[in-house]
């Protein structure tokens, strides 16, 4: 079923190995029930409507959404530039809004976070090297004499060592953004947050920035980037969609990528969440199927019967993959048994048959794509026959 597993929620599966205790490490970012309401003369306007989001150490995450959907507001909750109306944000173990006051947050930000903006925000009267030294001065990190050398090393890292003594206005916009990234790295923070960092750059400069982010992630940093550019989301290890102040389930976005953000959000809201303990049957073979199943977390095993009626695991599916569509689209009973793998619990989002059919009516593209997947899966199942595996329990 590899042909259907291109759109994965997480390209780095985090399921613990068999037998290992499932103690999750503390995430780098942990947002819980974040609500942000702006008040003005016209009244109240809720921009973030209860956001729950966890981002692990070393992830490279893109956040996308229409203009005005709340992306910048969401980032400002992570950086502590603004504060939520309610809810909790922990970054690298620090509770930003209950354990720190405004000036505490500002100092914390200086030491723990690198921020990159769409319009660079370099100080025009300082050289690039002086701009890069500013954060070190601000939080008084590194010896005074060491700072120029460190600034040069960072500028060399982004390929700007020859321009260190130039002012921002005398280098290109792409180079200004590279300098801004060098500045964001000045205090060697574990987390880099970028709000449309390539939004004002040509595609070649944008590519340089993404390569640099890739390299930083490979070195162990966490990068969270808001972007408008769909070609960039393919290069991150995880993509999060925000629609009208709510997050789309990543399982829904992966399973049904051709829906509009609005439709994805509707599916997210409508879907029912089911949890199965390790090893437990989710769907029996020959069972009537009346739901579409999207995997949010964990691993499921697809089980068929061999020649001697023994169980054969023909494939495994992980977060972002789905099942049930073959039966829903062709009618009939389950063509295979599905169970939670022994490594850990499985969380599923399910859509009822009529909700699923309705969805296909409103998105013919999704219907076509699923139709092709059904054909591929049936072909793959048939190819198991020579191995003596019974896959098709009844004649259509």
Instruction: With beta carbons less than 8 A apart as the criterion, state whether 180 and 195 touch.
Output: no
Q: 40-59 mask for ligand ADP (x: CB under 6 A)? A: x----x-x------------
For ligand ADP, which residue of 21, 67, 98, 103 counts as binding (CB under 6 A)?
67
- Say how many CA atoms lie within 13 Å of 88 toward its Cβ: 9
Q: CA 359, CA 366: separation in Å to the nearest integer?
A: 8
C-alpha torsion 91→95→100→103, nearest 10: 20
Of 72 and 227, nearer to Mg ion (C-beta) is 72
Read off the tokens for 71: 């992306």
Q: Judged by CB under 6 A, which stretch of 60-68, 139-147, 253-261, 289-297 contacts ligand ADP?
A: 60-68
The interface region with ligand ADP, picked from 61-69, 105-113, 137-145, 146-154 by CB under 6 A, is: 61-69
CA angle 221–103–72, rounded 5-degree value: 55
Residue 70 found at the interface with ligand ADP (CB under 6 A)? yes
Residue 98 touches which member of ligand ADP, Mg ion, none, C-beta under 5-8 Å by kind: none
Between CA 327 and CA 333, with CA 328 as vertex, the angle to 5 degrees is: 35
Sites for Mg ion among residues 115-144 (CB under 5 A): none
Size of the site for Mg ion (CB under 5 A): 2
Q: Which residues have a Cβ under 8 Å from the Cβ of 158 and sit 6 or more positions away?
A: 178, 179, 181, 182, 212
By CB under 6 A, tell whether 261 contacts ligand ADP: no
> Residue 82's Cα: distance from chain center in Å?
22
Task: Report the residue closest to Mg ion, judged by CB.
Answer: 72
The count of residues interacting with ligand ADP (CB under 6 A) is 12
Residue 70 interaction partner, one of ligand ADP, Mg ion, none, beta carbon < 5-8 Å per kind: ligand ADP
Restricted to residues 56-75, the positions that interact with Mg ion (CB under 5 A) are 71-72
For the beta carbon of residue 190, count every other beta carbon within 10 angstroms.
15
| Closest to ligand ADP by CB, 205 or 243 | 243
Q: How far apart are CA 227 and CA 6, in angstroms?
A: 21
Minimum CB–partner distance for residue 238 and ligand ADP (Å): 18
Binding site for ligand ADP (CB under 6 A): 38, 40, 45, 47, 65, 67-73
């Amino acid at each position: 079923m590899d042909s259907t597993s291109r759109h994965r929620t997480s390209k780095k599966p985090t399921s613990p190995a068999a037998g290992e205790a499932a103690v999750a490490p503390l995430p780098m970012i942990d947002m819980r029930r974040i609500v942000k309401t702006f008040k003005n003369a016209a009244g109240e306007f809720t921009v973030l409507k209860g956001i729950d989001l966890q981002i692990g150490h070393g992830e490279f995450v893109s956040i996308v959404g229409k203009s005005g959907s709340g992306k910048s507001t969401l980032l400002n909750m992570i950086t502590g530039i603004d504060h939520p109306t309610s809810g909790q944000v922990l970054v690298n173990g620090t509770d930003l809004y209950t354990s720190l006051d405004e000036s505490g947050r500002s100092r914390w930000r200086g030491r723990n976070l690198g921020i990159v903006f769409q319009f660079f925000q370099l100080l025009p009267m300082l050289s690039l090297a002086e701009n890069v030294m500013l954060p070190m001065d601000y939080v008084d990190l590194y010896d005074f004499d060491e700072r120029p050398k460190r600034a040069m090393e960072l500028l060399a890292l982004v390929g700007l060592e020859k321009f260190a003594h130039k002012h921002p206005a005398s280098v290109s916009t792409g180079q200004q953004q590279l300098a801004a990234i060098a500045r964001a790295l000045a205090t060697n923070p574990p987390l880099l947050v970028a709000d449309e960092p390539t939004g004002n750059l040509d595609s070649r400069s944008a590519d340089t920035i993404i390569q640099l982010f890739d390299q930083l992630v490979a070195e162990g940093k966490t990068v969270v980037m808001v972007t408008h550019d769909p070609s960039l989301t393919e290069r991150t290890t995880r993509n999060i969609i925000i629609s009208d102040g709510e997050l789309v389930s990543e399982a829904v976005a992966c399973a049904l990528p051709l829906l509009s953000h609005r439709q994805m959000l509707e599916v997210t809201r409508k879907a029912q969440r089911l949890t199965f303990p390790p090893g437990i049957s989710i769907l029996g073979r020959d069972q009537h199927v009346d739901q579409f199943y999207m995997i949010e977390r964990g691993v499921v095993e697809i089980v068929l019967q061999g020649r001697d009626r023994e169980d054969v695991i023909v494939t495994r599916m992980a977060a972002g993959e789905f099942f049930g569509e073959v039966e829903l689209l062709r009618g009939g009973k389950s063509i295979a048994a599905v169970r939670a793998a022994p490594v850990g619990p499985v969380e599923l989002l399910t859509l009822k048959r009529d909700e699923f059919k309705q969805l296909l009516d409103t998105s013919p593209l999704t219907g076509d794509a699923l139709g092709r997947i059904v054909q591929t899966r049936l072909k793959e199942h048939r190819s198991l026959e020579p191995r003596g595996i019974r896959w098709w329990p009844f004649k259509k």
